[in-house]
Amino acid sequence: MLKSLPPFSSLTDAQLAAILPSIQRRKYAARTYILEAGQRSDGLYVVLSGSVKLLLHDAKGRELIAGIIGPNEFFGEAGVSDAGPLPTSVRSQEACELLYVPNKTVLKVLQYDPTTAVLMLRTVIGRLSDAHRKMATLAMVDVYGRVARFLLEYARETNGDWVVDTGSHGIAAMVGCSREMVTRVTKNMIKDGLLRRHGRQLIVLDRVVLANASKSRKY
């Protein structure tokens, strides 16, 4: 199993055997904090099943979802370089299973295979780019456009339909506005024929119009 995961895929069987005793499988219930902002990460976490959210909190305690990490992805890499306290919290979105790799073991892996360091660096750069893109969107695009962009990005094709499973609260945390505002925007989109609601899901009906709306500016 380790051999199939990105941080360990290029290690030899002997190298995997050397680090295996220090690696733990951990299970977390839904909505459980795994790491909290302000503390230091003591290791690398690789998601085996389920998903986790990267969370930022403002001065009023409101949450903004900085990212979602799913199977075969990892987090906690900041602790390896002793980058200081974490800026984000990590909370399970649903029941999940993780691999926990202590920092000293991660450093051993990096000594075995420098390409792992390149992989981790690419991941960090990718997340920074996503964060910068999200900040630019919050600053420049109106709420209607932000919601449209979220719907396009997170819709998944299921039996010919483009389905969004995230509720109003989750969308609000991703686009940086109130749940009431998201509800108002999605109701308008349904009225305009861009979406339809099926139970707790939203079905995207017109991706072209949403794509144009996602570029609408504040100014």
All CATH 1.10.10.10 domain ranges in the chain, comma separated = 141-213
| Angstrom distance (rounded) from CA 105 to CA 38 | 23
CATH topology of domain 141-213: Arc Repressor Mutant, subunit A (1.10.10)
Say which residue, 93 or 216, is predicted with more confidence: 93
Q: Please tell me which residue, 128 or 92, carries the higher pLDDT value.
A: 92
- Nearest of 133, 140, 141, 150 to residue 186 by alpha carbon: 150
Q: What is residue 219's predicted lDDT score, i.e. its pLDDT?
A: 43
Please answer whether residues 205 and 194 qualify as being in contact, where contact means their C-beta atoms are separated by less than 8 angstroms. yes
Is the pTM higher than 0.85? Answer: no
Residue 67 pLDDT more than 60? Answer: yes
**Contact at 8 Å (CB) between 55 and 89?**
yes
Arithmetic mean of pLDDT over the chain: 85
Binned at pLDDT 50, 70 and 90, residue 55 comes out as confident
pLDDT single digits (tens) 72-90:
999 988 877 776 788 889 9
Pick 2-138's CATH classification: 2.60.120.10, 3.30.470.30, 3.30.70.100, 3.40.50.970. 2.60.120.10
Q: Which pLDDT band, with edges at 50, 70 and 90, does 136 fall under?
A: low
Sequence ranges of the chain with CATH classification 2.60.120.10: 2-138
pLDDT beyond 60 at 218: no
- Residue 96: strand pairing partners: 28
**What are 163-210's pLDDT values in tens digits?**
998 888 888 887 878 888 889 999 999 999 999 998 889 999 998 888
